[in-house]
Amino acid sequence: MARKKIDHALLGAAFVIIIIGLVALLSASNSESQRNLEKVYGYFAHQIFWGIGLGLVAGFITYKIPYKKFRTFALPILLVSVFFLILVFIPSLSLEVSGARRWINVFGFSFQPSEFAKLSVIIYLAAWLEARHSNVKRFSAGLIPFLIIVGITGGLIILQPDIGTFAVLALISASLFFVSGAGILHMGMLGILGATLLFLLIKLEPYRMARLISLLDNSKDPFGISYQINQAMLAIGSGGLLGIGLGKSVQGGIFLPESMKDSIFAVWAQELGFLGVALLIAVFLFFAFKGFRIAKNAKDRFGKLLACGITCWIVIQAFINIGSMIGLLPLTGIPLPFVSYGGSSMVATMAGLGILLNISKHT
Residues 6+ apart with CB under 8 A from 317: 168, 334, 335, 336, 337
Sketch the domain layout of the chain as residue ranges: 8-360
- In this predicted model, what pLDDT tens digit does every residue of 112-127 receive, in sequence order? 999 999 999 999 999 9
Question: pLDDT tier at 297 (50, 70, 90 boundaries)?
Answer: very high
Query: How confident is the prediction for the chain on average, in pLDDT?
Result: 90
pLDDT at residue 3, as a whole number: 53
DSSP per-residue letters across 10-29: HHHHHHHHHHHHHHHHHHHS
Helix and strand tally (H, E) in the chain? 16, 3
How far apart, in whole angstroms, are the C-alpha atoms of residue 320 and residue 3? 35
Given a contact cutoff of 8 angstroms between Cβ atoms, the answer to whether 52 and 17 are in contact is no
pTM: 0.94
Crossing angle of helices 144-158 and 163-179, rounded to 10°:
160
- In this predicted model, what pLDDT tens digit does every residue of 145-159 receive, in sequence order? 999 999 999 999 999
Element (H, E) at 100: strand 100-106
Average pLDDT over residues 10-21: 96
DSSP lists the bridge partners of residue 41 as: none
Nearest to 248 by CA among 46, 31, 21: 31
pLDDT at residue 1, as a whole number: 45
Question: How far apart, in Å, do the first and last CA atoms of the chain sit?
Answer: 9
Q: How many CA atoms lie within 13 A of 258 on its CB side?
A: 18
Say yes or no to pLDDT of 220 above 80.
no
Given a contact cutoff of 8 angstroms between Cβ atoms, the answer to whether 57 and 39 are in contact is no
- In this predicted model, what pLDDT tens digit does every residue of 165-177 receive, in sequence order? 999 999 999 999 9
Q: How many CA atoms lie within 13 A of 52 on its CB side?
A: 19
Say yes or no to pLDDT of 354 above 60.
yes
User: CA–CA distance from 1 to each of 288, 325, 340, 362, 363 (Å)?
Assistant: 25, 44, 37, 7, 9
pLDDT at residue 108, as a whole number: 76
How far apart, in whole angstroms, are the C-alpha atoms of residue 335 and residue 346? 9
Coil, helix or strand for 141? helix
Average pLDDT over residues 309-319: 96
